[in-house]
Amino acid sequence: MTDMIERKSDPYNAEPTPGALIERFLTPQALFYVRSHGAVPDLPADHRIEVSGTGMASRSFSVEELKSALATRTVTAVLQCAGNRRTDLQ
């Protein structure tokens, strides 16, 4: 993608070009910055996640169950990498 500046390939870290950011008020999903500190797992649809807590019965869900049971929502939000301008810190 030409609108992204790749800072590191492994783990992948990239950010949009300043020019791409000022083209629109809202950043499209394709231009979200990516900050990774390790590999992103490729989980199969049948991978299970256990949820437990005090006073509740433990439950197990597959990735597919979570995807199909939970509605998709669009939320306008501000996201910022905590490392922005870290080179300016003294």
Quote the mean pLDDT of the chain.
Answer: 87
Domain contains 90: no
Number of folded domains that form the chain: 1
What integer is the mean pLDDT of 47-67?
92
d(CA 29, CA 47): 26
Domain contains 79: yes
pTM: 0.59
pLDDT tens per residue, range 58-73: 999 998 898 899 998 9
Q: What range does the domain containing 15 cover?
A: 4-85
Task: State the pLDDT confidence band at 16, using cuts at 50, 70 and 90.
Answer: very high
Residue found under tokens 């991978």: 47
Domain contains 63: yes
Domain contains 72: yes
For residue 86, is pLDDT > 90?
Answer: no
pLDDT tens per residue, range 72-85: 898 899 887 777 67
d(CA 15, CA 6): 7
Domain contains 81: yes
Domain contains 57: yes
